[in-house]
Structure 1
Amino acid sequence: MIAVIFEVTPKSGAAPHYFDLANQLKEALHHMEGFVSVERFQSLSRPETFLSLSFWRDEQAVEAWRTHFAHQQAQQLGQASLFADYRIRVAHVVRDYGVKDGAVTRRTQ
């Protein structure tokens, strides 16, 4: 499993447009082969900064999303007019632990 961490600080006043753009991409994202899940968070120490954490089956799925036409258009718009700063991290998930219904589960990749 692959984790993609997208950290973004929108330009002043651009956050609503960024969130609109993200919502427009959501349907395409959920139909991507190999997409697992996505969550969005707001930084507690820097409230103007947001983090999107997505999980993917493998690197091929990440690459397919990276090169998806609508996503590429959104990237270009973001870089040109919406983002004051951004950073992307891509990582392999080594272990995946959890508790469900009181039982500890562990999935190793």
Structure 2
Amino acid sequence: MIAMIFEFWFDPDDPARYQEYLAESARLRELLPGVAGLEGIERFQSTTDPHRYVAIASFDDEASVAVWRRDQDHRRAQELGRSRFFAGYRLRMAEVVRDYGKQG
């Protein structure tokens, strides 16, 4: 399993960019059920900085990550993120070496 940890933040002086991001994110989210090997993705807002977020996704393997990375709609969203939406971002990809827990 591959984990994606995507940290990003918005300019607090430009709330319109955040609204644009939400619209693009909703459009992209509609495509996610069709992405083979994408197990899930969730977005969380910081409790200490309301302009900072993290998205965590899990993929079956590197091949699944590559398919998503090459998806044209995803590429378009990435470019919008870099050029328009985000004041900053950081992406981490990690191989999961342990995965256990209790589900309720």
Tell me if TM exceeds 0.5.
Answer: yes
Range 22-31 or range 87-96, more displaced: 22-31
SS in 1 for 2:102: strand
Aligned counterpart, 1:24: 27
TM superposition outliers: structure 1 runs of 4+ over 2 Å: none
The one of the two structures with greater contact order (alpha-carbon pairs below 8 A, sep at least 6) is 2
Counterpart amino acid of 1:15?
Y
The answer to which structure has the higher strand fraction is: 1
SS in 2 for 1:75: helix
Tell which structure's C-alpha radius of gyration is larger.
Answer: 1
Rounded to whole Å, the distance in 1 between the matches of 2:5 and 2:93 is 6
Per-residue Cα deviation, 1:45-87 (whole angstroms, up to 9, x for no partner): 2221011100000011111111100010111111111110011
Total equivalences in the alignment? 101
Rounded to whole Å, the distance in 1 between the matches of 2:25 and 2:74 is 9
Gaps of 5+ in 2: none
SS in 1 for 2:89: strand
- Across the aligned residues of Structure 1 and Structure 2, the Cα RMSD in angstroms comes to 1.2
Aligned counterpart, 1:92: 95
The answer to whether the Cα contact below 8 Å between 1:10 and 1:18 also exists between their aligned partners in 2 is no
Correspondence 1:1-109 to 2 at 5 A: 1-11=1-11, 12-13=14-15, 14-100=17-103
Gaps of 5+ in 1: 102-109
Give the Å deviation of 1:100: 3.5
The answer to whether the Cα contact below 8 Å between 1:5 and 1:54 also exists between their aligned partners in 2 is yes
The answer to which structure has the higher helix fraction is: 2
Q: Percent identity?
A: 39
